[in-house]
A and B are shown apart, each in its own frame.
Chain A
Amino acid sequence: MGVIDLDALEVRFGTRTILNGLTGSLEGHAIGLLGPNGAGKSTLINTLLGFHQPSSGAARVFGMDAYRDRAAIRGAVGYMPENDSFIGNMSGVHFVRYMAELAGLPPRPALERAHEALFYVGLGEVRYRKISTYSLGMKQLIKLAQALAHGPRLLILDEPTNGLDPIARQRMIQLIKDIRKQGSVRILISSHLLRDIDEVCDEVLILKGGRIAALNNIEAERRSNRSFVELETVGATERFAVSIRGLGCECVTFPDGRIKLVIPDQVEARDLYQVAFEQGVQIRRMNQRRDSLEDIFLRAMESEIARPPLVRL
């Protein structure tokens, strides 16, 4: 049983099919939900929370039917919506306590955990201020605090870094990483920012037009894929290329001193520098990358990218 199981899930609004036959099992500790606008990410989240009834098929969270057992699922889930969603007239601690009590905590533990959650996300100093006076970053953080306060088993974060400046974004990502590292909470993050998903998630579900375009274990993908390196060198490039082939690398040389190579796992970057030093070759630039989430995403989107029709003037 995965964290989330989708069984030919179909959701229709009137005549429009929003999610079309999604099937798969998501088992990662941190699951990324990617896709272009209108792909169905938010609809999938809303379906998992029991806000929408599937027109056919089923979605299960921890083995519970997302619609039939929605009360039990909501008790086990912490949800941080994409848009502003709070009660501006309440102070931070009052709001988080209110949400914790709605999740089922008795008043005293709810108050205790509200304070803890606000300190944890970094809003401890402003917890008695009205939420309407918070900055955008603080409003994102208070949504995270209320999602965490009742100790959920699954944290659903819808665009958690939306509208944040780089520092606030980094802080949010770090918080999510910390929660993930703690281990007791599974995380589902919906985002259209590949970098966010890449930094946090170990599994990714890519949606396109309401269908699953890819369902990948990012960690396994990274392990199985080889590392690509591009070098800019000055000196005896051909002789250098022969030497690094001797290390087990596959490489192609170009006339301007550029070399593209695939390095096996046992070869480190410093081995290349060592060979370059021995050959009297200068490495002016080294660009190393693994088969990234971006590649996975672009491959999934490939069929989507349609060539624009020619326009004759």
Chain B
Amino acid sequence: MSVYEHTYRPYAGPLTSPRSRILVLARYGMAEAWSSKITIALFVLCLLPLLTFLVGIYIANNPLAQMAILKGSKMLAIDASYFLKILTTQSWLALILCSWVAPRLVSFDLSDNALPIVLSHPISRVGYVAGKFLALFSALSVVTWIPALLLFAFECYSSPQPWFFANLRIAFGLLAGSLIWLCFLSLLGLAISAWVKWRVVATGAIFAALFVPAGVGGVVSAVLSTKWGFLFNMPYLIATLWERLLGAENPRMIGAFGPLPTAAILLVLLLTCALFIAMLNARIRAREVVKG
């Protein structure tokens, strides 16, 4: 083709590698998500608590500031519990960001029936989901494990004591806890968005998918007097997992039945993620096939 001659000409230039097409989807997904002012506002909101935590680390490691603000008391200790607070705060803010961004990544494609055209290009369904997943995961990473590890690095730098090797488990816990949560959250966001075309409804459905089963689990536990009902309570499960990963004190107890085993928590997380993948597999198709 030529703009001036208005004739068709074939393309004879170089082609990108098939694997890099996933990055194209991720890039366009990110551009779509960040084109909204609400996304930017939410992003800023997600970063605000980090400033507080940063100031906290600074004060805890600065004797002058400690004397001026904390009046010499030892209320502010930078330990696993402190970083658990950071991880918890940022992870729940990431949920809010996810509930807004995920529907924008998928719902536009589905509401305008873009999948037949998108998937008629050399990109598989797995590649499509991977691209969208990457876009969402990257956006959520910027407000969770990346700043959390930066704060950890700042604490290592600021602490007068040799702090890094003694607290390496915290860094590992921050990274592992965030990655598990972000994988779960990204799959949840994409799966719900793939099934609910209206973006506002999809945003609400993401919260509902997380908290309604938690309520049901609480009722089950109360009625049957068992700890296993809490396996439906994803906020509880993930909080328990974070505590154990970071080595924070006071492992949660459920009444007289004791804590849930870590293996059970991981199994539930795996099964839930498998369910989300099945939901995506059923929905992300170029063509609906009615068998009969």
Q: Which of A75, A89, A116, A182 contacts B108 (CB 8 A)?
A: A89
Contact of A104 among B7, B122, B292 (CB under 8 A): B122
Contact status of A87 and B291, CB under 8 A, knowing A102-B123, A103-B121, A103-B122? no
Note all chain B residues with C-beta closer than 8 A to A266: none
Most buried by A among B7, B12, B121: B121
Residue contact A102 to B118, C-beta cutoff 8 Å: yes
Report the bound CA distance from A52 to B25 in whole Å.
Answer: 23
Q: Does A260 belong to the interface (CB within 8 Å)?
A: no
B24 near A98 with CB under 8 A, answer: yes
Between A89, A113, A184, the greatest number of chain B beta carbons within 10 A of the residue's beta carbon is seen for A89
Instruction: Check if B75 is an interface residue, CB within 8 A of chain A.
Output: no
State how many residues of chain A have any CB contact under 8 Å with chain B: 51
- Are A85 and B117 within 8 A (Cβ)? yes
The answer to whether residues A102 and B287 also contact, given A84-B112, A119-B6 and a CB cut-off of 8 A, is no
Whole-angstrom distance between the alpha carbons of A299 and B9 in the complex?
A: 39
Q: Is the CB of A102 within 8 A of B11?
A: no
Q: Is B161 an interface residue (CB 8 A)?
A: no
Contact B117 A150 (CB under 8 A): no
A84 touching B113 in the complex, CB below 8 Å, given contacts A16-B291, A102-B24, A151-B10: yes
A101 lies within 8 A of B120 (CB): no
Chain A residues within an 8 Å CB radius of B65: none
Residue among A46, A98, A151 with the most chain B CB within 10 A?
Answer: A98
Question: Once the chains bind, are B1 and A87 in contact (CB under 8 Å)?
Answer: no
A161 within 8 A of B: no
Task: Give the CA-CA distance A275 to B32 in the complex, in Å.
Answer: 73
A106 is an interface residue with CB less than 8 A from chain B: yes
Q: Complex formed: what's the CA distance from A74 to B28 in Å? A: 20
Q: Complex formed: what's the CA distance from A106 to B115 in Å?
A: 21
CB pair A87 B8 closer than 8 Å: no
| Contact indicator A74/B11 (Cβ below 8 Å) | no
Q: Which residue of the partner chain, among A81, A89, A104, A179, contacts B116 with CB atoms under 8 Å?
A: A81
- Measured CB to CB, the nearest residue on chain B to A151 is B11
Residues of chain A contacted by B16 (CB below 8 angstroms): 101, 104-106
Question: In whole angstroms, how far apart are the Cα atoms of A182 and B286 in the complex?
Answer: 30
Across the interface, which residues of B come within 8 angstroms of A49, CB to CB?
Answer: 120, 286
Tell me whether A182 and B121 are in contact in the complex, defined as CB-CB below 8 angstroms, given that A102-B25, A116-B3 are known contacts.
Answer: no
B289 is an interface residue with CB less than 8 A from chain A? yes
Chain B residues in 8 Å Cβ range of A58: none
Does B13 lie at the interface of the complex (its beta carbon under 8 Å from any beta carbon of A)? Answer: yes
Asked if A46 meets B287 with Cβ closer than 8 Å, knowing A89-B108, A102-B24, the reply is yes
- A contact residues around B197 at 8 Å (CB): none
Residue B114 at the A interface, CB < 8 A?
yes
What is the chain B residue whose CB lies nearest that of A15? B292
A185 CB contacts on chain B under 8 angstroms: 8, 10
Write the chain B residue with the least CB distance to A16: B292
Interface residues of B in 95-135 (CB under 8 A from A): 108-109, 111-124
Of B6, B13, B28, B291, the residue contacting A98 (CB under 8 A) is B28
Residues of chain B in range 1-55 having any CB-CB distance to chain A below 8 Å: 1-3, 6-16, 18, 21, 24-25, 28, 32
Q: Given A15-B292, A119-B1, verify A51-B15 contact (CB < 8 Å).
A: no
Query: Is A109 located at the chain interface by the 8 A CB criterion?
Result: yes
- Residues on B close to A: CB < 8 A? 1-3, 6-16, 18, 21, 24-25, 28, 32, 108-109, 111-124, 286-287, 289-292
A residues whose Cβ falls under 8 Å from a Cβ of B? 13-16, 46, 49, 51-52, 71-72, 74-75, 77, 79, 81, 83-89, 98-99, 101-106, 109, 113, 115-117, 119-120, 124, 131-132, 143, 146, 148, 150-151, 153, 178-179, 182, 184-185
Task: Please list the 6 inter-chain residue pairs (A to B) with the smallest Cβ-Cβ separation, ordered nearest first.
Answer: A151-B11, A14-B291, A116-B1, A104-B15, A79-B120, A102-B121
